[in-house]
Structures are given as C-alpha cells and as structure tokens.
Amino acid sequence: MTRVVLSIGSNLGDRLARLQSVLDRLGEAVRAVSPVYETAAWGGVEQGPFLNAVLVAEDPTLDGHGWLRLAQEMEKAADRVRGQRWGPRTLDVDLISCCQPSPAGEIEVLSLDDGLTLPHPLAHLRAFVMIPWLDIDPNAVLTVAGGKRPVSKLLAELDPADRANVRLTGLALTPQGEDTRSDSGSDSGSDSGPDSRSDSPPGT
C-alpha cells in the first residue's frame, strides 16, 4: 500500500470542477481532503488566482512513478497544456510526498529519477501546499535537504505575507463525486477567456 500527498490547483475555467475531477477519478482511494483555498499565482507570471487543495490517497498497486502517470492522466483529461513555465493551467496535480510500508513501518519514498523528484523539491516554499496539508495532517513531516522537518515549522519560516496570501474559501470538495458547492460564476466560463481564473503554480 502506497500513500501519497497530492497538491491540486486550477486557475482556468470552472476551477472547483477541475479540482473535483481529481477526487472523482481517485474514488475510494481518497483518504482525506483539505478545505479549498484561493491563492494568488506563484512564480512571477501575471494571471488569475488559483483554487488549491491537498488530499491524501492510498493505492496498493501504485508506486511513485505510477502516481506520477496517474497525475499526468488527470491533468490531460482536464485539457492541461504544458506551455509557459509557471503559467495558467486548467489543472495541476503535484506529488508532494509518497510513503510505502516496510518491516520497520512506513517509510518515505525518496526519488531523484528523471521526471520524478520525491518529495516535491519546492513544497517547503509553498504556503498553498503546507496550509491545506496541515488541515488534514497537523503532524505532517517533509524531508528537506536530507532531514525530516515538521511541516508546521517549515510553514512558520515562510514570509507572513506568503501565508496571508492563502485564503480559505467557502468551497468544498467531496470524495466519491458527491455534490459540491459551485464555484463563482466567473469560474464556469471558457478556459480561453482572458478573465478565466487560474490555479496555483505548477509543481511537477
């Protein structure tokens, strides 16, 4: 059984529906999902704000590369186009951390393979990842520079402005594809419109 922490975000089209599509695809594999936050885009590219959330999922058939392939499939299903770095996107699904069982207990998967870096190398710099993650796992830890660090302490080390930029919304995601509260009207329009809302910065 592998357990993964996923950060999901969208800032184009119906942002909430894009995020919900991840839970719908994962189905019973979802173990926990955070509240939905809105965050100004990260990375220096002018664009609309992202809706962001973090979820925990488990699947006995997937390893790190399997989760990566699944994440990319979900992005493709949402018409994700990989163009401008840090640019707007219909859906971003980032692998933050992956753990697997061992005789000594659960261990974190570490990877520097081409195309897969675990844990996510920028997660400790992103308030929009750590804040929702702590909502569902207050004791979360992340390996940074070879050492395990409490995510709560990593978050506290960020600039207060970065933390304040992650704003709780009244929106919710629901496992198993149950009805969710609709995002604002401006988020249900075309992906191509200049006013389309955009998700949080990329991670993979």
What is the per-residue pLDDT across 40-76, written as a single tens digit (0 to 9) for each? 986 667 788 999 999 999 999 999 889 999 999 999 9
Q: Answer with the residue of higher pLDDT: 36 or 183.
A: 36
Q: So what's the pLDDT on residue 86?
A: 60
- Residue 107 counted as domain residue: yes
- Tens digit of each residue's pLDDT (9 = 90 or more) over 100-121: 887 877 888 888 887 888 899 8
Which residues are CB-neighbours of 15 under 8 A, at least 6 positions away?
A: 50, 51, 183, 187, 197, 198, 199
How far, in Å, are 14, 101, 182 from residue 185 at the CA level?
A: 8, 44, 8
Domain hosting 46: range is: 2-173
Name residue 19's beta-bridge partners: none
Instruction: Return the pLDDT at 111.
Output: 87
112 found inside a domain: yes
pTM for this one? 0.81
Query: What pLDDT does 108 receive?
Result: 86
All residues at 6 or more sequence positions from 173 whose CB lies less than 8 Å from its CB, including other chains = 16, 19, 20, 23, 33, 36, 53, 55, 180
Strand (E) or helix (H) holding 73 = helix 64-77
Tell me which DSSP letter residue 60 carries: T
* 181 in a structural domain: no
Residue with tokens 């960020």: 158
Pick from 34, 6, 48, 21: which is nearest to 169 by CA? Answer: 34
Domains in the chain: how many in total? Answer: 1
Domain CATH for 59 = 3.30.70.560
pLDDT digits (tens, 9 = 90+) for 141-192: 999 988 999 999 999 999 999 999 999 999 999 997 455 444 544 454 334 3
For residue 194, being part of any structural domain is answered with: no
Structural domain includes residue 58: yes
Q: Which of 201, 200, 203 is nearest to 51 (CA)?
A: 200
